[in-house]
Amino acid sequence: MKWLFFDLDDTIWNFSANSAISLRKLYAISPILRKLFKTEEEFIDIYHENNSLLWDLYAKGKVTTEELKRERWRRTLATRQFEVLTAVCEELETTYLDILAEGTEKFQGMEEMLGELTKHCLIAVLSNGFSKTQYKKLQFSGLGKYITRTIVSEEIGINKPDIKLFEYAIQETGATPPFIMIGDHPETDILGALKAGWHAIWMNLKGRVFPFTPQALEERGINPSLYIGSATNVEELRKLLSETVTKI
């Protein structure tokens, strides 16, 4: 059977919705956060700013997993001139991830689409997330039953967009070409897959313009025809896959 490779967060699992709920819950139960930040919105905005920066550095291999987990809290609290103790960061991180992992917000139609795909394909998750949390997300959301193989970068020490992770995925699954990656991040998921010689579909939930023109891809030594296109919702993704899987 053909393999399809999906990113997890904001691709098949609604990270944005579940994270927003989790951060609000964390603010509500954390005396430190309520003391330092006047509102949950103020806290969440500053957290997102630091978290996004650190995830970019993580994808580039410039910070470790542990540094990311610690620094996103230390930097957030430090904006309020708070003397940040490592123990405080660890407690916030543990509590947040525990809440997040049990999130059940789903994209409309995603579970049904995955169920349909499993009749014809094997599905793998290829994620840059944290191992324990990613497996729990699949468990609590009920999506895990559709996934044959889950590959998390933390377990092997290689992050997308490194082509070594895509090569590892092929070895682990025994997949044969053509390979198809579906993900929400234009650089780590899509460009990474294209560089590895895979086809790719961008789960483009915000309806943005793809940042790499065909010419820009060619200049990077990438065949532009490998990029299948983007989907702004599950129905568009379903259509792209139905048109693509049988043709390539």
CB neighbour class for 20 (10 Å; exposed up to 12, middle 13-18, buried from 19): middle
CB atoms inside a 10 Å sphere around CB 142: 11
Nearest Cα to Cα of residue 148 among 23, 44, 3? 3
**Which tens digits make up the pLDDT trace of 166-187?**
999 999 999 999 999 999 999 9
Tell me the whole-structure pTM to 2 decimals: 0.93
pLDDT tens digits, 58-107: 988 899 999 999 999 999 999 998 778 889 999 999 999 999 999 999 99
State the Cα–Cα distance between residues 146 and 125, nearest whole angstrom. 10
